[in-house]
Amino acid sequence: MSEANKAVVRRLIDEVVNAGRLDAADDVFSPQIAAQAKQGFELFRRAFPDWREDIEEVVAEGNRVAARFKCSGTHRGEFMGMPPTGKRMEVTEVYFLTVVDGKIVDFVGVEDNLARLQQLGSFKCRSRPSSWVPLPNETVLAAPRPFVLGRVSNASGVGRKKSILTLGGIIGTACG
């Protein structure tokens, strides 16, 4: 079962994402979430026409598959309200997918959008004096928009999105 479920995820990446065959999404996603998944892929493909996902690691147990990907592409269309920059990005993504009867029925992912926005030139660190110390609960930096962690629900077909606000300490550490 686990090997068959990993094969579904590999097919998603090889055929739907890297080959751009959105029609194949109907073969790997349950009918309840296929349309929403295809819509997300179309939007991302418009922003990054040469979008590619490289599988770095896949682990499965039962009907759950965990995968780590290297996402790359050149910013040639609007992304998160940003006009095209022509810059290339490469970030790590981790997804947990649930596969039932050969179809993905649920997935949740974590993407390094801070690195993506930095590479696209949209997110810059605020300069501060070397003696600067953050106050408790102080927001160190603010992104142009909240980072979004996409989630498509289980076979009930109810889609959700969760906004993840990045904590100042994390950004402060990432920016120096």
62 vs 136: CA distance, rounded Å: 43
- Output the pLDDT for position 80: 86
Does the global pTM surpass 0.75? no
For 83, residues 6+ apart whose C-beta sits below 8 A from its C-beta are none
Burial 71-100 (b: 16+ CB within 10 A, else e): bbbbbeeebbebeeeeeebebebebebbbe
30 vs 103: CA distance, rounded Å: 5
CA distances from 156 to 32, 35, 86, 103 (A): 7, 14, 39, 14
Chain-centre distance for alpha carbon 130: 34
- One-letter amino acid at 150 equals G
CATH class in words for 2-175: alpha beta
- Output the pLDDT for position 166: 35
**How confident is the prediction along the chain (176 residues), in pLDDT tens digits per residue?**
799 999 999 999 999 999 999 999 999 999 999 999 999 999 999 999 999 999 999 999 999 999 999 999 999 999 988 899 999 999 999 999 999 999 999 999 999 888 898 899 887 665 555 666 655 554 444 444 434 333 333 333 444 433 333 333 333 334 44
For 154, residues 6+ apart whose C-beta sits below 8 A from its C-beta are 98, 105, 106
Nearest Cα residue to 113 out of 67, 42, 174? 174
- Output the pLDDT for position 114: 86
For 11, residues 6+ apart whose C-beta sits below 8 A from its C-beta are 24, 27, 28
Burial 144-157 (b: 16+ CB within 10 A, else e): eeebeebebbeeee
9 vs 37: CA distance, rounded Å: 13
